[in-house]
Chain A
Amino acid sequence: MSKKTQIPEEQLVQLLKNKDREAFATLYDNYCNALYGVVFRIVNDEPLAQDILQEVFVKIWKNMEFYDATKGRLFTWLINITRNTAIDKYRSQEFRQQAKNQKLDDSVNQVNMVSSVNTKVDHIGLKEQISQLKPEYIQMVDLLYFQGYTHEEVAKEFNIPLGTVKTRIRAAIMQLREKLMVS
């Protein structure tokens, strides 16, 4: 976060598609913390998370040509690769069921934990703003976005209809958007 190289996303993408190694270093500097955060949220194990992070960046480097800017932001693409890689790895380690139960048991503390992972906050008071969000909504976002749950799995866990999961997710995102606008 401290020394993010400021370079327009389109330009960075173009350089990466041309296999520019400096651009790759920049990409790593800009996104490693966010992506490592995601991987760690999924596997909850540092050595494993580090292995996965490496694999993720190698995949990004090799598959850069397939990124299509018209379909979404670079970050969305990166986080999808990250999440899918981490989940594949995690499943192959056969930890998933066990860990999922464990995390749901801790669900009350989830939001606080989310905040405590974050050591550097860009905006003053942001921690408070996120903690003001409806905890179970945010938890659904976490499960779907960071932990690779399907809508069906979330619906089953919370014992609510599938349509409700989707609208609650939307509500949670709307809340985040409002917070983002305010800050």
Chain B
Amino acid sequence: MDITEQISSGLLESYVFGLSSEEENRQIGNLIHQNAKIKEEIVAIEDALIFYASQQVKSPPATIKDTLISQINYSSEKKIIMHPASVASRSSNSTIRFLAAAAITLFLISTAGNFFLYNNWKNAEHRVTALNNEKEQLAQELNVQEAKFKTVGNDMAVLQSPYNKPVMLKGMPVAPDAMAMVYWNTQTHEVFVNVHKLPAPPAGKQYQLWALADGKPIDAGVFDVTDTSHVQKMKVINTAQAFAVTLENEGGSPTPTLTALYLMGKI
């Protein structure tokens, strides 16, 4: 068959209609490349049918387009997962990846920062607590020292006062090594005692100071021997020629027990 015969046989119409056999399709495929007239003829047949089809139009409902667009969006998304080949999807993927990486990095930095700051804050809090404790200890110590200083100051005042007459009490045969000082203020008549050495009293017993005025013992109060470094204030004594210390029952006695005379000193 030559070309004109091919054309007039209606084979090309069959081809355009999609009704030609595979053998015929191959044949025509070759002819298209070899002969421009065949190609022109096919285009003319197509145009005629397009023209005819354009007279058969019918408008589908508008909703179909929306359904289709969402359908192909879904199907192309699935495709991206399977073949991440399209340039557009790759660039949007890499943007998402970049943003995700940036977000994760920022999150990690923020977490590390928070951890660092939290630790700093904890340390600072610990240090503040420690400093507060130390401050309280120091304050307490200061109070103690102040109290001590005050006592020492009082002691000093007693010792330095020109009106305080020192009287040395010496050990009697019961305790020959014993020793104490009594300071008697000639103006205010106050009496202070400062123990230097006295044996510790047995349980239930206390030392008592006596003033001897005109041969009579006058109670000047009981005192402790635990604190030998301090001067202890006693009762006011108006007249005395000597002072003596006896060991009495706790709380003192109205009259001295002369068998337990420990110290004695004349003014």
Residues of chain A touching chain B, judged by Cβ–Cβ distance below 8 Å, are 1, 18-19, 21, 24-25, 28-29, 32-34, 36-38, 40-41, 49-50, 53-54, 57-58, 61-62, 70-73, 75-76, 79-80, 83-84, 114-115, 117-122, 126-127, 130, 141, 144-146, 150-151, 166-167, 169-170, 173, 176-177, 179-180
Residues of A within 8 Å of B86, CB to CB, are: 18-19
Residues of A within 8 Å of B18, CB to CB, are: 76, 80, 83-84
Q: What are 30 of the A-B contact pairs (CB < 8 Å)?
A: A19-B79, A21-B69, A21-B72, A21-B76, A28-B65, A33-B60, A34-B50, A36-B57, A36-B60, A37-B53, A37-B57, A37-B58, A38-B53, A40-B58, A49-B60, A54-B64, A58-B72, A73-B47, A75-B49, A76-B49, A80-B18, A117-B58, A126-B55, A130-B52, A144-B17, A145-B17, A145-B49, A151-B19, A166-B13, A180-B51
Give B60's nearest chain A residue, CB to CB: A36
Minimum Cβ distance to chain A for residue B48 (Å): 4
Pair count A-B, CB < 8 A: 147
The interface centre, meaning the residue of B11, B52, B69 with most chain A CB atoms within 10 A of its CB, is B52
Contact across chains for A24 and B72 when beta carbons are under 8 A apart: yes
* Bound Cα distance A144, B19 (Å): 8
Residues of A within 8 Å of B4, CB to CB, are: none
Contact across chains for B13 and A173 when beta carbons are under 8 A apart: yes
The one of B29, B32, B58, B73 that contacts A36, using a Cβ cutoff of 8 Å: B58
Contact across chains for A73 and B55 when beta carbons are under 8 A apart: no
Residues of A within 8 Å of B65, CB to CB, are: 25, 28-29, 32
Give B61's nearest chain A residue, CB to CB: A50
* Bound Cα distance A73, B46 (Å): 7
Given A61-B75, A72-B46, A177-B44, is A28 in contact with B55 using a C-beta cutoff of 8 Å?
A: no
Contact across chains for A53 and B64 when beta carbons are under 8 A apart: yes
Q: In this assembly, does B43 line the interface, its C-beta being within 8 Å of a C-beta of chain A?
A: yes
Residues of A within 8 Å of B13, CB to CB, are: 166, 169-170, 173
Minimum Cβ distance to chain B for residue A166 (Å): 3
Contact across chains for A57 and B58 when beta carbons are under 8 A apart: no
Q: In this assembly, does B226 line the interface, its C-beta being within 8 Å of a C-beta of chain A?
A: no
Residues of B within 8 Å of A119, CB to CB, are: 57
| Binding site secondary structure of chain B | helix
Residues of A within 8 Å of B16, CB to CB, are: 72, 76
Residues of B within 8 Å of A141, CB to CB, are: 49, 52
Q: In this assembly, does B9 line the interface, its C-beta being within 8 Å of a C-beta of chain A?
A: yes
Give A76's nearest chain B residue, CB to CB: B46
Minimum Cβ distance to chain A for residue B33 (Å): 8
Contact across chains for A34 and B56 when beta carbons are under 8 A apart: yes
Residues of A within 8 Å of B76, CB to CB, are: 19, 21
* Bound Cα distance A127, B54 (Å): 12
Residues of B within 8 Å of A28, CB to CB, are: 65, 68
Minimum Cβ distance to chain B for residue A103 (Å): 14
Nearest 5 pairs between A and B by C-beta? A166-B10, A33-B57, A176-B48, A37-B56, A80-B18
Residues of B within 8 Å of A21, CB to CB, are: 69, 72-73, 76
Q: How does the 8 Å CB contact mask read for B175-195 relative to A, with 1 for contact and 0 for none? A: 000000000000000000000
Residues of A within 8 Å of B111, CB to CB, are: none
Contact across chains for B56 and A73 when beta carbons are under 8 A apart: no
Q: In this assembly, does B238 line the interface, its C-beta being within 8 Å of a C-beta of chain A?
A: no
The one of B56, B59, B67, B73 that contacts A114, using a Cβ cutoff of 8 Å: B56
Minimum Cβ distance to chain B for residue A74 (Å): 10
Contact across chains for B49 and A58 when beta carbons are under 8 A apart: no
* Bound Cα distance A176, B8 (Å): 16
Minimum Cβ distance to chain B for residue A153 (Å): 11
Q: In this assembly, does B95 line the interface, its C-beta being within 8 Å of a C-beta of chain A?
A: no
Q: In this assembly, does B198 line the interface, its C-beta being within 8 Å of a C-beta of chain A?
A: no
Contact across chains for A118 and B56 when beta carbons are under 8 A apart: yes
